[in-house]
Structure 1
């Protein structure tokens, strides 16, 4: 049925249908669609069909289970679109993929997709693949996932739209939530709303969002701060050195607490407080398991380091000599940019080995299907993947990334999202915050402290800064985003582990007991990285032992590649920088103060 026919049938039955649901129903089997609409009318009090109807009181299973057997195959796509659990049988897989293959042109991509189709027909793969239902606590959305991995939060593609009213609501709600974090600070005494500040000089505290920041001719900094009741100027004197340095690193739109003296005309800051994130202890699992973290694979690029990646897969499967801990690895996090994508930047097609998105995801499937089944793979998208650029990015679009949906040990969630791993009786597990990291270069290039730390090549410094702000992109201009009633980029629940990618620079550190990991990449040095002096790390995989908390860096970069990159970097380094690099290289070999590094590359 098309949209017009569906709408007419709904009106005939005295029902209205949400525009989003109408789009999802469009093109589905006529009899099955009418059957579902009639059941909704009979068994609910709702007169407007929305996605929520399918999740209320477990109605979804009731609606779909009663569909006649001969119609069930035609309704599987609708279940996927609605975010419900699905059961993909051998026949439905083959028919969907055969239909796709018949529509694409004869090319090298067709050969790859044919190979994928043959794999799904093999005895090992043709058994029914079931994705269990999980419901995000924050969104109520059902997610395709494995039951041993708990989805704490993920975000659907829907939002309230991008008109001015929704942005206002978004910022107001963000302010209120950040205020609640700051109100827990005992230092913020005599806390007042801005409209309650009197004309008499007094010692007070305020919580506000920084809407403007200027430096006076006397080099003092004036912040314009607002809450839900009004605005006021807060002056930070250059004479207060420590406070002044802290103020220089404040970004616009951050919500902060100020301990001040002054009146309704102007306030003079004595202390400034960030919402900040910390956990009291570094927890340990009673069971010895390991989690590993990768990102920015860029499958489909001519610069994809496939040989090194295959070495990594061999390690996971215990096929290398030096792999004593491989069997302990139970979780693999893929933090965005699975593929190179298409049209991500001008003239990208010149850099592509595989020139279409579905072919790139087919190659991704080909690689990841080699990984042993007991490793749970958690996947979020990045800016190169087949989703919108605006954040939060929903999980991979099944229309283009359907090969990835055939990975039976994979959990697909949004960017950002939070996952819990390793929980069992008596142990709460580890909460892992996943964010690809598109906002990072904005802060690396605008915050003085981060500029001085060369944080574009040390992204954990940026991650510390964002944890301090309890937000993944506090400044309005730092990312494209879609406003939600509850800001998806606010760090509500403080994670045990915070993982990102995007910068191609691998780092591991701690911030207030939170393990902070930035993943390296599997794409060779690009011309644009070389031009701007980027220093990516290649084929490095952090491995975290959940019981001992030991961190090891598994190194799959071969010596030939290391020497090639070193030669390129040397061309751009001064003698002083070369000496410093040699010194740092020697330190990294020490067991003290640095994660152990295992070289697992093969020539």
Structure 2
């Protein structure tokens, strides 16, 4: 098969151990004989070179053209065209075609979790497990008027669809919230005060328009029985002897006690509260308020919330993004064959619209992350893990735009927000000129904003809240809670490590169109107030450690989001 596209140029270079600048790839693809041009460029490359520059390729092509103009001799064996085979773009020939499940997330709010029949909330719509094809069931979807459409394709040999052809000049990516290189925290008490003050100020602005807010230090001067409202940070939650709930709310002026009666509808919302999140309450002050022992009897409780009327943005053309997470290269259980099948599929004409790859952390397995991890490693050196990950990244078409953030297994600080990788690791992962940003970051892809967060706080949310509100089998429900609280890691002092900064980079100030996370190795998706919410599973089979803590991972799934419609297709490669 002739070399016709930049994607195949990149693939052939990768099989021979080289990378290239984008301009160099374009020059090779535009050559009269791309295969011969590659041979000449590699022959002339310095012995220690691993990346071809545009200047190098241009000089080789110019020299080659000069020789051809001066030569009248018959072509030699060295000048013969090299023909590539179908197995060259990163994997074995004729891999099995992946299963595909298409879910129309425009009309229905689908929600699935691998291998289980999900019980749907009013926010998430109908359940369709992609492994079985399933059937649509909108009976439990209070906010959905249409059933989820499912398209199951049988596993088969790939159809000869030709090579993808992408115009990369259309690519448009903007990143907000990247705190890489902006860290100011030193761990001093003043740093923690600064970050919590910033959190309070920014989240309280989301709430003040809904209530007639009063500072806590003015409430004691109000007459008993008066109506009052507070915006505050939850400093304590405890139950009384009578079964009611006492919540202490703190603002920048002081702390005030608020009582939620157990027989009020508001009591159900107390189950969703976490320490350190910002909420608003309305109610009536107790009769003895002016004596200094007052309390606010709560009638209504409000979260910062995503507006129910939110309308997401879409791209102006037909283009898609693949969302993956938790690759874990270096683990003995890394699913290399499945990744190669995924990469091979990306090279097909069927995947022609998939121009972006967003990776939400844990590129590698890391070292020393959990007890006895060394016994489960295939690669024991962290830098070698990243070198191997880079090789697998080269299997992805070279015309794809890649954005990635770190996770808790990656070689960055554990405390969130996590800055992007340092220069040494960036040099190792230089394939495709990937955009590397902090965890979390808001990534806008052709007008569609994607909040990328690895997801360590999901463990804490699932541990603290009732199963029907957050659980591992339906990880998107725990993500709903973060959208409701408008903060990706609201609780401080638990299992989630938080770094004090002058600014709280974990606040969800702007509403995203898509919320993408990973970490929990479970797959699930749905919509929360029209925000498409996806936890993309992992590419690592169950390890001995995961088995010991009852984690049954959902592996080798690639959610494909059509950015022009926000429709979702789930492809399974194992």
Distance 1:531 1:549, change over 3 A: same
Tell me, in whole angstroms, the C-alpha distance in 1 between the residues paired with 2:194 and 2:571. 45
Ranked by relative contact order (alpha carbons within 8 Å, sequence separation 6 or more), the top structure is: 2
Is structure 2 residue 519 aligned with structure 1 residue 502? yes
Is structure 2 residue 312 aligned with structure 1 residue 282? yes
Could you tell me which residue of structure 2 aligns to residue 434 of structure 1? 452
Is structure 2 residue 144 aligned with structure 1 residue 214? no
Tell me, in whole angstroms, the C-alpha distance in 2 between the residues paired with 1:162 and 1:121. 41
8 A contact 2:402–2:432 mirrored in 1: no
Counterpart mapping for 1:193-232 below 5 A: 193-197=215-219, 198-232=222-256
Shift of 1:126: 6.7
Give the gaps of 5 or more residues in structure 1.
1-86, 91-116, 129-145, 423-428, 558-603
Shift of 1:549: 2.5
Shift of 1:283: 3.1
Shift of 1:201: 1.8
Tell me, in whole angstroms, the C-alpha distance in 2 between the residues paired with 1:435 and 1:262. 40
Shift of 1:285: 2.3
Distance 1:121 1:274, change over 3 A: closer
Tell me, in whole angstroms, the C-alpha distance in 1 between the residues paired with 2:236 and 2:493. 13
Is structure 2 residue 282 aligned with structure 1 residue 267? no
Among 296, 303, 306, the alignment partner of 2:326 is: 296
8 A contact 1:421–1:430 mirrored in 2: yes
Aligned residues: 410
Tell me, in whole angstroms, the C-alpha distance in 2 between the residues paired with 1:333 and 1:125. 30
Shift of 1:119: 7.5
Among 322, 325, 342, the alignment partner of 1:312 is: 342
Could you tell me which residue of structure 1 aligns to residue 436 of structure 2? 412
Could you tell me which residue of structure 2 aligns to residue 398 of structure 1? 423
Could you tell me which residue of structure 1 aligns to residue 141 of structure 2? none
Tell me, in whole angstroms, the C-alpha distance in 2 between the residues paired with 1:260 and 1:152. 38
2:362 match: secondary structure? coil
Could you tell me which residue of structure 2 aligns to residue 233 of structure 1? 257
Distance 1:543 1:89, change over 3 A: closer
Q: Structure 1, residues 256-302: CA drift from partner, whole Å, max 9, x if none?
A: 11011014410100000000123621333220000110010000111
Shift of 1:348: 1.5
Tell me, in whole angstroms, the C-alpha distance in 2 between the residues paired with 1:550 and 1:520. 19
Counterpart mapping for 1:25-104 below 5 A: none
Could you list the structure 1 runs, at least 4 aligned residues long, displaced by more than 3 angstroms after superposition.
87-90, 121-128
8 A contact 1:120–1:126 mirrored in 2: no
Could you tell me which residue of structure 1 aligns to residue 491 of structure 2? 475
Counterpart mapping for 1:520-559 below 5 A: 520-557=537-574
8 A contact 2:470–2:478 mirrored in 1: no
Counterpart mapping for 1:364-375 below 5 A: 364-375=389-400
Could you tell me which residue of structure 1 aligns to residue 77 of structure 2? none
Shift of 1:443: 1.0
Could you tell me which residue of structure 2 aligns to residue 175 of structure 1? 200
Moved more, 525-534 or 211-220: 525-534
Could you tell me which residue of structure 2 aligns to residue 109 of structure 1? none
Distance 1:126 1:218, change over 3 A: farther
2:423 match: secondary structure? coil
Shift of 1:125: 11
Q: Structure 1, residues 185-219: CA drift from partner, whole Å, max 9, x if none?
A: 2xx13x21111112422011111111001101110
Could you tell me which residue of structure 2 aligns to residue 385 of structure 1? 410
Could you tell me which residue of structure 2 aligns to residue 95 of structure 1? none
1:150 match: secondary structure? strand
8 A contact 1:282–1:514 mirrored in 2: yes
Counterpart mapping for 1:338-377 below 5 A: 338-377=363-402
1:362 match: secondary structure? helix
Shift of 1:342: 1.3
2:432 match: secondary structure? coil
Higher helix share: 1
Tell me, in whole angstroms, the C-alpha distance in 2 between the residues paired with 1:379 and 1:268. 47
Distance 1:253 1:291, change over 3 A: same
8 A contact 2:538–2:554 mirrored in 1: yes
Is structure 2 residue 138 aligned with structure 1 residue 120? no
1:486 match: secondary structure? coil
Shift of 1:515: 0.8
Distance 1:514 1:455, change over 3 A: same
Is structure 2 residue 501 aligned with structure 1 residue 488? no
Distance 1:127 1:442, change over 3 A: farther
Tell me, in whole angstroms, the C-alpha distance in 2 between the residues paired with 1:202 and 1:192. 12
Tell me, in whole angstroms, the C-alpha distance in 2 between the residues paired with 1:437 and 1:512. 20
1:476 match: secondary structure? coil
Tell me, in whole angstroms, the C-alpha distance in 2 between the residues paired with 1:480 and 1:204. 35
Q: Structure 1, residues 377-399: CA drift from partner, whole Å, max 9, x if none?
A: 00100011110101111111222
Q: Structure 1, residues 518-561: CA drift from partner, whole Å, max 9, x if none?
A: 0111101122322332232110110011123221101101xxxx
